[in-house]
Amino acid sequence: MNEVSISFRKPAHPPGTPSTPAHLPRTHLRIDGMTCGNCARHATDALQSVPGVSHASVDLAAGTAVVSWKPDATPTPASLLPPVAQAGFKGTLLDSPSRTGPAPAAPNPWKLSLTLGIPAALILIVGDWFLGLGMNRSFQFFSLALATPVVAVLGSRFFRGAWSQLRAGAANMDTLVSLGVSAAMGYSLFALLSQQPGHLFFTESVTLLTLVGIGHFLESNMSARAGNALRALLELTPPTALRLSPSDTEEHVAAELLRPADRILLKPGDRIPVDARVLEGSSAVDESLLTGESLPVDKSPGSTLFAGTTNQNGRLVASVTATGEDTALSRIAEVIRRAQSTRASVQRLADRISSIFVPIVVLIAIAAAAFWLLAPDIAAAVHAKAGSLLWHTHLPTSPVATAVLIFCAVLVIACPCAMGLATPVALMAGVNAAARRGILVRDAAVLETCGHIDTLLFDKTGTLTQGHPAVVAQDDFRTPDNRVVPLAEIAASLARPSNHPLSIALARLAPGSLQVGQWTETAGAGVQAQWWNQSVQLGSLAAATRAGVDLTPAQPFFNAWLAQGATPLVLSAGTQLWGAFALRDTLRPEARDAIQRLRQAGYQVGMLSGDHPLAAQAVAREAGIDPELVHAGVRPEGKADILRQLRATGRQVAFIGDGINDGPALAAADLGIAVARASDVAREAAGIVLLRPDLGGVADALQLAAATLRTIRQNLFWAFFYNAAAVPLAAVGLVHPALCAAAMGLSDLIVVGNALRLSRRLR
C-alpha cells in the first residue's frame, strides 16, 4: 500500500507563529449559564464577534470554549469576557491544557431530572390525577412541600439563565420556562394560602421541569454521540511514549515532553504518540481512523508516521518531527472543530427568527391569558369549537386558573430549541460522517456550496493519474562535440530540487551531481538555473516556445509520444534545443469508475491540464471524460481564468487538484477539492481535502453534502411546523402544560435523531 501524505503547510515564519489553523494561538474559557444548543450558539457568536478572533468552538456539555486568534492578531483573552457577559453568560479564563487530547467527559448536567424529578412527578401525578386528591387541602400542602425543593433544584439552571438573559437585555428558552413555572407556582401558592377554590399547579410545575430536563438529558446524550468522530480523533494519541536516550536506553515519558529530533521506540501494537520519521525497521501501520483507508500502509526508513495511528507488526525506531498541536492529527481535528462551529447561511435565517420569536411568544402568552381571564365565555366557546374538530380537554373551572394554565402552556410549547438545533446538529453529524470517510470539510459554507455544484473539472497529473510518471524515451539534439556531459545528468541535476512528479521522475535518470546556481521553479512552466555560465531550462513545450527555442528538430519525437499519451519535456540552453524527454503516467485504477459515477449523478465532468493537448486527450479518453470538456496546455493562472469564465456563465464549478500549480484554480472555483498526496498549497486553498487516495471520495463528498443539506431543511421544516401548529393549540386550551413540555422535548429529539440518522446512513 502506498504511503499517503496528510501533512499541512509548515509555518513560513519563525516557529511558534501562526500560519495554519492548528498554529493559531488559542484561549480556553469556562462558560457558565448555558442550558441548551441555542445558548451555546449565542456564546459562540459572542466570542466570534471579538476583533482578532478567527473562530470559536463551544462545548455545551463541558461548559467550555476554545477561541483561536487570527495570525496577524495579538491575543487579548480579557476582551472575550465582556461579550460573553453581554450574551447573558459568565466567562472565566482557563489555562490551556497540557496536551491536545480531549478534556475528561463531563457528567450530563440534566441527570437530576431523572433521579429527582421523575419520582417527585410520579408521586404528584398519581395523587392529583389518578387518586383525585387535587382538591384535598392536606394533599395540596403535601404537594407544596414536595414541589418547592424540586422546583428550586431543577429550575435553578433555568432561573439563573433567565436572569442572566434579562440583565443582558435578551430572552431565550430559559425565559419561557422560568416565566411558566413561576406563574404556576406563584398562583398555586397564593390560591393555597388564601384558600381560593380551584385547581393548583404544583404537579404541573414539577412535571414540566422534569420533562424539559429529560428532553435536555436525551438531547445532550444524542448530541454527544453526534460529536463522537471528533472525540475519537482526539483520543487516538497515547499519553506516554517510549523514548530512546543517546545510549539507546528506553524510558517511558509523557507524550507532551517529546521534542522534535527525539528518538522513540515503537513496538508491535503501539499507538504512535507524535508525528515522526522512521529511522530503523519496517512495519505496516494502520492509518484507517485517520485517513479512512482500511488497508495498512508499509513503513520503512524515511517513511512518515502520524500521531494516532497504530504500528502493527514490526519494531520501529523513529525521529520525532512534530508534537502537540503541530501534528497532522491535531490539525485535522482543528479543521473538524472549526467546521462544526461555523454557521451556514440557512442557519442565519433560523437565528434571526429565533431572536424575535421569544418576545413574540411572551406577548402571545400574555394575550391568550388575558383573553381567557377577561372574556372566559367567548374563550370557552372557541375552546369547545376547536375541541369538536380535534379533541376535547378539561380546563379548570376558575377563569384565573385557566388563564395561568394557558399562559404556561403557550410559553413552554413554543421554546425555540428545535429551531436552534436544526442546523448545528446536522452539520456536526455531516462533518463527522465525512471525517470517518477520510473527507475533511473546512466549514459549513463548503457543505452548502457542494449542494449547488453542477460542473466538476479535474487536474490531470497526480489527480486523475497516479502522479508517478516514468521517463519512457529521450533524445539528444546537441551537436556531437557538445555531448561531453550526458543529457540525463544535466536533466537530473536541474530536476532534483523540485518536488513536481515530472521532476522526480527525471531526477531518477542519473545521480544529478552537477553544481547549478540561481535555481528557480515556475509553476506550470518548469525549472531553470545557471550552469557553466549559461541559462539552462527544463520545462514544457509551451514554456520552451515562449522562450524562443526552435523545436522543429524534435517535432517527430513529440508527435510520436504525444499520440501515446506521454508528456514531453524540453531541455534547452538559452534558445538552443538540447534534448527532449517523454514521460508517461498511468490512470488511477478507480478514476474511470469515479467519473462514471459522477456523470450518472448528473454532473458535467471535464479536465484542466497544463499538459500538451494530445496527452491530455489521451488521458481523458481513458478516464471517460468528454473531449469537448478538456482544457489542455493551460498555465496555472489560465486555469483560474477558465474557472471564472465558467462561473460567469452561471455554472457552479468544483475543481479537483493536488499540485502547487493548482492553488490558484482551487481558490478560483466555487469549491476546491484537494486529493490525497496533495501539496500543502493545494490543501490550504481547498474547501475539502480527501485523506484517502481514492477519487471515489469526490462523489462521496458531494453525496454527503446533499444529504446534510436535505437533513437541515427537514429539521428546519419540522421545527417551524411544530411551533406554528403548537402555539395556537396551546392558546385555545387544547394542550396541557405537561404535554407541552413533553412535546417540546420531543421536537428536540426529532431534530437530533434525524441528524444521527444522517450519520448512520453515511457510514
Q: Cite the active site residues.
A: 459
DSSP string spanning 36-54? SHHHHHHHHHHHHTSTTEE
Q: How many CB atoms lie within 10 A of CB 650?
A: 7
What gap in Å lies between CA 686 and CA 550, rounded to an integer? 39
- List beta partners, residue 459: 608
What gap in Å lies between CA 422 and CA 754, rounded to an integer? 9
In sequence order, which residues have a C-beta less than 8 Å from that of residue 553 and are 6 or more positions away?
A: 477, 577
Positive or negative torsion for Cα 389, 393, 399, 405: negative
Look up residue 508 and give its DSSP letter: T
Cell numbers for 645, please give them.
469564465
In sequence order, which residues have a C-beta less than 8 Å from that of residue 236 and are 6 or more positions away?
A: 271, 289, 290, 307, 308, 309, 329
Q: How many CB atoms lie within 10 A of CB 126?
A: 12
What gap in Å lies between CA 81 and CA 73, rounded to an integer? 17
The answer to whether 2 and 284 are in contact (CB under 8 A) is: no
What gap in Å lies between CA 344 and CA 94, rounded to an integer? 29
What gap in Å lies between CA 452 and CA 442, rounded to an integer? 17
Query: How many CA atoms does the CB half-sphere of 571 hold within 13 Å?
Result: 23
Q: How far is CA 637 from the centre of its chain?
A: 29
Give per-residue burial for 742-763: e unless 16+ CB within 10 Å, then b.
bbbbbbbbbbbbbbbebbeebe
Positive or negative torsion for Cα 440, 221, 49, 422: positive
For 200, the 3-state DSSP assignment is: coil
The answer to whether 432 and 229 are in contact (CB under 8 A) is: yes
Residue of 625, 655, 627 whose CA lies nearest to 639: 655
Query: How many CA atoms does the CB half-sphere of 477 hold within 13 Å?
Result: 22
What region, left, alpha or beta, does residue 498 occupy, with left being phi > 0 and alpha being psi -120 to 50 degrees? beta
The answer to whether 222 and 110 are in contact (CB under 8 A) is: no
- List beta partners, residue 517: 530
What gap in Å lies between CA 539 and CA 529, rounded to an integer? 12
In sequence order, which residues have a C-beta less than 8 Å from that of residue 388 and are 6 or more positions away?
A: none
What gap in Å lies between CA 546 and CA 699, rounded to an integer? 38
The answer to whether 571 and 479 are in contact (CB under 8 A) is: no
What gap in Å lies between CA 41 and CA 47, rounded to an integer? 10
Cell numbers for 518, please give them.
540561481
Length of the chain: 763
What gap in Å lies between CA 609 and CA 42, rounded to an integer? 46
In sequence order, which residues have a C-beta less than 8 Å from that of residue 640 and are 6 or more positions away?
A: 664, 665, 667, 668
What gap in Å lies between CA 258 and CA 322, rounded to an integer? 9
Q: How far is CA 63 from the centre of its chain?
A: 20
